[in-house]
Structure formats: C-alpha cells, structure tokens
Structure 1
Amino acid sequence: MRKSQQELIKQISDKELTYHLYFTQILLLTISFVLSIFLFNNFSTFFYQFQLSWDIFLIGILSGIVIVLLDLCLMKIIPEKYYDDGGINKRVFSSRSISEIAFLAAVIAISEEVLFRGVIQYHFGWLIASGIFAVIHFRYFAHWFLISNVVLLSLWIGWVYEWTGNLLVTIMMHFVIDFLLGVHMRWKAKQAEKKEGISDE
C-alpha cells in the first residue's frame, strides 16, 4: 500500500496536492456547518466553545511544544522507516515558506478541531471523536507506528478539550504541532539539499 501511495504522490504536481489538501479542509468545515445546523439548538451554544483565556497559551501552546519535542526525540531513536507516510508530509511541507506552513497549519487545525472536537466530540463523546479522527487519517493505516501516533494524539487532544471545554485551546495545540513539525520537515529538506550540493562539488 505504501508503494502505491508513493507512486501516486509522485504523479501529483505540487499545485494539485495543495488543491486537494485545501479542498479536504473546506469539505470538513462544510460538514461541520451542516452537522451544526442539525445538532445544536442555536449557534450561541456552538460559539460558546471559543473562549479567550490563558489556557490557550498555558495548555494549548505548551502541550503542542511538549508533543513536538517528544516526537523529535522519538525520531532520533526510532528508525526513519517508522515515520514513512509515503512522502506526503514531505511533499506538503518541505518546499513551502514559513508563512505558507503557518497558514496551512492554521487551516488544518481550525477545520479538523471544529469538526472533531467542536461538533462530534461535543455531541457524541471523546472516544467516538478520536476514533473518527483516526479513521480519516487512513493513509497512516499501512504502518502501525504512524496510526498509533495518530490515535494517541487524537486521544490527548480530545482529553484537553474535555478538560478545558475550549476549542481555541485545541486549535492552538493542533496548530503548534503541525506548524513546528512542518518547519522541521522544511529544515530537513534544506539540510539534505545542502549535503547534495556539497557532495556534487
């Protein structure tokens, strides 16, 4: 499955990959809007989940940083093949500018957290939301380590939402994780390019 995924990724241009990525996030937001109409008695109940508080920084940002540091430590210990997702994340982040990575991470964090925590978890519970979150990341199913990471991450973010009841906290946490890991992938790609340049000389 990973080989066919890698071949498919190679056939898609950067522009097409970006289009599909943004289309997916818009689709998630559309699903959130439609479900909200049927599940919430009024929109004020939904918007009450967005609360400006110090938890955004104390819990959201700090939790995101801790998870990224843990992930980076594991990358040093665990063989690289365990993090092989078929090259999708590398294609998505490695050639983008810092501002593009930040914008993309924000879009992903908002669309996914609004749907999975703000709508699904609010109405159906922590475990169901975490399970569905893992299912939509089906491209990781080819590797037990990656899907385990996704499941554990989803459970952790879901628990943070249960604890705070604040979507802005989980959005910030999700953003920090995707942004910092995206910047790390970009940095790794630049380092690899430099090494190739030196070896060619």
Structure 2
Amino acid sequence: MGRKKRKTQAELIQEVSDKELVLNVIASQLIFLFLAVIATFYLFSWEEIVALFQFNWLEIFIYGLIPGTIVVFIDLILIRFVPKRHWDDGGVNEKIFRSLSAWQIFLLAIVIGVSEEFLFRGVIHTEFGYIVASTIFALVHVRYLSKPVLLVSVILLSFLIGYMYEITGNLLVPIAAHIWIDFLLGLYYRYRMR
C-alpha cells in the first residue's frame, strides 16, 4: 500500500473558503496581539510601554511610509519580471484579498501591522534585540520557506522593518510601514484579480 501524497499548500488553500482564510488570518493575529499584550505587561513598566509609541508624524513618514512605498515598488517589479513559480505563495495572498473591499483590506492591514509589530518589535526586539526579532519574524512566515525569492524578500523586509525601529525607537514607524505595505499590496492583489 502506497502512502498518500501530501497536498500542496495551493491545494489546501483551494479547499478553504475566502472567508475562512481571512478569519484564520485574523485569529492568528489576535493570538500575536494577546501574546504581545501579556508579555508587555510582564516585561515592561508603564513608562517603558508609553515610550514605545511616539506620535512623530514626520518620522513615521520618512522612516516608515517612504521605505514602505519603496518595498511595494520592489515587490511589484518582482511580480512583473520574476516567473510566478518563484514568488507565488500558493495563492494565499490572492485568496485573502480578492473578496475584500478596499476598506476591509485597510482594516485587515491594521490588524496585521499592529499585532505583528507590537509582538516582534515592541516586545521581542525591545527585549532580545534586532537580530533575534527579525529572524523570528522571518521564520513565522513559514509559507515562504519553500520559495527562495519570497524567503529572501521576507528576510530582507524583516531586517528593514527592524532597522526602522532600531534607528527611531518608535514603534509607530514599523507599524505604519507594515500597515502601508500590506494595504498597498492587498489592493494590488484585490484589483489584479478582477
């Protein structure tokens, strides 16, 4: 008797509805946020928590939104010129974003950006350092491990976002960058599918 062939990520994704996939993304992000909140109150004083968030709009724009726009531009170049088999994540991003409105994409980007950056930069980076946080962030994006272009891209992005936090000490900078990147790429996936 032969062993059953394991389904690929793309095959598994096709078995899940768009709504179920989005709900799974939200659930995973809420777990990240819960872990971040618990760890924050365990590891940091109230003053240290408040110091993580600096409403410096110029800093957010220069160190978060401008580099975020460049990241999106580079991603779009990769999508345009690199064969799909090298950058396709098995249809996950397309399936997540194709059924959402622009407003829903923005809200999802906020949930993802806040939860991931709060955990990886606000907690792990602050407590254990730039290298540890950036490495763990890249590893959490496990679906990219079998795609070298995506893997290199997420590693570079992880270290770039970590560097944003490293040089500013302002958690709102990587949060804004992450939201902006996910929002713009989400819009691309949404409207490219039409």
Compute the TM-score of the two structures, normalised by the length of structure 2.
0.93
Contact kept? 2:110, 2:179, Cα under 8 Å: yes
Q: Root-mean-square deviation (CA), in Å?
A: 1.5
Equivalent residues of 1:17, 1:92 under 8 A apart: yes
CA distance in 2, matches of 1:93, 1:174: 16
**1:175 deviation in Å?**
0.7
Partner residue of 2:172 out of 160, 164, 168: 168
Unaligned runs of 5+ in 1: 191-201
Q: Name the counterpart of 2:74.
A: 70
1:152 aligns with 2:156: yes
Distance 1:24 1:38 in 2: 21
- The AA in structure 1 aligned to 2:193 is A
Q: Secondary structure at the match of 1:122?
A: helix
CA contact (8 A) 2:18 2:99 kept: no
Displacement of 1:11 in angstroms is 1.1
Q: Aligned partners of 2:43, 2:6: CA distance in 1, in Å?
A: 38
The residue that corresponds to 1:131 in the other structure is 135
How far off its partner does 1:3 sit?
A: 5.3
Name the aligned partner's letter for residue 135 of structure 1: L
Residue pair 2:145, 2:151 contacting (<8 A) in 1 also: yes
Q: Which of 58, 61, 66 matches 1:57?
A: 61
User: Equivalents in 1 of 2:121, 2:108: separation in Å?
Assistant: 19
Change in Cα spacing, 1:3 to 1:148, as seen in structure 2 (3 Å) is farther
Is the contact between residue 32 and residue 115 of structure 1 (CA under 8 Å) also seen in structure 2? yes
How many residues in Structure 1 have an aligned counterpart in Structure 2? 189
Q: Which residue of 1 aligns with 2:11?
A: 7
Runs of 4+, deviation exceeding 6 Å = none
1:46 to 31, 36, 49: 49
Q: Tell me how far apart the structure 2 counterparts of residues 65 and 109 of structure 1 sit (CA, whole Å).
A: 15
User: Any stretches of 5+ residues in structure 2 without a counterpart?
Assistant: none
